[in-house]
Amino acid sequence: MNSPSDVRNNRSLDGLNFFLADVRDGLGPYLAIYLLAVHKWDPASIGLVMTLAGIAALVTQTPAGALIDRTRSKRLVVIVAALLVTAGCLVLPFIHSFTWVLVTQALSAIAGSVFAPAIAAISLGITGHKAFTRRTGRNETWNHAGNACAALLAGGFSWLFGPIAVFYLMAFMALASIVAVALVDASAIDHDVARGFNPDHEQSHEQPSGLALLLSHRPLLTFAICCGLFHLANAAMLPLVSQKLSQIDVHLATPLTSACIVAAQLVMVPVAWLVGAKADDWGRKPLLLAGFIILPLRGVLYVLSDNPYWLVGVQLLDGIGAGAFGALLPLVVKDLTQGTGRFNVSLGAISTVFGLGAALSNGLAGWVVEAAGYSAAFLTLAAIAAAAFLLLWLAVPETLSADNVPEQQRREQADDTDGQGQPEHGPIP
């Protein structure tokens, strides 16, 4: 039975994931709408601000992970980052110059880069390795619920009060995340376990592995390439769908795109829950392969019809692929780096790789659309996604080991053995 402290920590982590859901992704399209509609910026300037802010986030992912590995003030790091994001949101209505908007958005992007590794580290430090799977699934479930809720509120408040309302909504969510992380019991976080050390070893004698070891870790590097290819294929699909919807019916494009985003997030909620519930039973790789195979399937399905409701329906499959990927990413990285003390820096480095893939995706898709049309762009992205699936299938091993399986499950497996002491259903995959 969970103690009151365990219940409080779990609920605090639920709240942290819910409120940070939209904050960690930044203002994104809402900033573009505000600058275009209110300040009459030209699209080139808007794109430059968003690109430079994205680069700032990209280059700080790995240092952010290293910081989270090293610090024992993880809650304080989250609080400071959330305050920076809050300040960046609240000051936007009062500044108009390109330089100041760029500075605020770059700082917010840099601050936001600590949220993902910090949440993963705090969760691992509280639950330990064996309960981390369920906690990660629960984290992602609340994250996607928060994204869907924030998108609905942003749409409603923007309609009622104008684009500026989104900034105040995001500032409120950032402040609420501060309350949530402050309620986490600091003494419950094992900072050695949180950075990936093995809890069964004597912590005082362990030192983090050298970064050179990670750079020569073939399964980790191969998995990073798979993640980069996945996002190279995935990031441009929704923008391409939005563009096609605009060509079909400009009045339906915005509401249908919003419906795509909200509905996909709602699909991700049960997918993330399923990963948390079953990844220790079924293994990581089957679930990852299921998520990866959805992506080339989506790319092919998009070219079969221009019907707007068909396009929206196909986009809902993103909830399966992205939902599985988001929940499994920290689990696979944790498995591959357990005992190294480099969990969070590895998570940050892989986030940098797939962030680079996402950043290149729209440029690649736009170039193909210009050269050969939308169908060719979707099929190109589908081919990249198929390559990611094949690489994952052939070159990345199952990362779940007996050390990662909860004690209760091991006892159940022990009861299911034959008289020779051998499992009837084979070893753990």
Specify the pLDDT at position 420.
44
177 and 244 part of one domain:
no
Domain presence at residue 90 = yes
161 and 236 part of one domain:
no
Gap between the Cα atoms of 112 and 359, Å rounded: 17
177 and 266 part of one domain:
no
Domain presence at residue 418 = no
Domain presence at residue 84 = yes
Specify the pLDDT at position 235.
87
241 and 155 part of one domain:
no
Specify the pLDDT at position 133.
92
**What does the DSSP assignment read for 240-281?**
HHHHHHHHH-HHHHHHHHHHHHHHHHHHHHHHHHHHHHHHHH
State pLDDT tens for residues 148-183.
888 788 778 877 887 788 888 888 998 999 999 999
Gap between the Cα atoms of 316 and 323, Å rounded: 11
Domain presence at residue 410 = no
Gap between the Cα atoms of 113 and 60, Å rounded: 6
Are 181 and 75 a contacting pair, CB within 8 Å? Answer: yes
Residue 173: closest CA among 114, 272, 64, 88: 88
Phi, psi of 111 (to 5 degrees): -60, -40
State pLDDT tens for residues 10-21.
999 999 999 998
Say which CATH number the domain at 66 has. Answer: 1.20.1250.20
155 and 298 part of one domain:
no
338 and 385 part of one domain:
yes
In 66-160, which ranges are E strands? Answer: none
Looking at 192, 223, 257, the residue that finishes a domain is 192
154 and 62 part of one domain:
yes
CA atoms within 13 A on the CB side of 144: 27
Side chain identity at residue 27, one-letter code: L
Looking at 192, 226, 244, the residue that finishes a domain is 192
Gap between the Cα atoms of 249 and 242, Å rounded: 10
pLDDT at 198 over 80: no
Domain presence at residue 366 = yes
Q: Residue 124: pLDDT band by 50, 70, 90 thresholds?
A: very high
pTM over 0.85: no
Q: What is the mean pLDDT of the chain?
A: 84
283 and 376 part of one domain:
yes
220 and 106 part of one domain:
no
In 252-360, which ranges are E strands? Answer: none
266 and 348 part of one domain:
yes
Q: Which residues contact 85 (CB under 8 A, 6 or more apart)?
A: 23, 108, 111, 112, 170, 171, 174
Domain presence at residue 94 = yes
245 and 127 part of one domain:
no
Phi, psi of 207 (to 5 degrees): -125, 150
Residues of the chain with pLDDT > 70, as a percent, come to 86
Which whole-number Å values give the CA distances from 172 to 23, 29, 164, 177, 265, in the listed order? 10, 18, 13, 9, 21
Tell me which residue range forms the domain holding 302.
214-401
Specify the pLDDT at position 127.
93
182 and 219 part of one domain:
no
Domain tally for the chain?
Answer: 2
Across the range 205-214, mean pLDDT stands at: 64
Q: Residue 397: pLDDT band by 50, 70, 90 thresholds?
A: very high
Gap between the Cα atoms of 207 and 134, Å rounded: 28
Phi, psi of 417 (to 5 degrees): -115, 160
Phi, psi of 399 (to 5 degrees): -95, -10
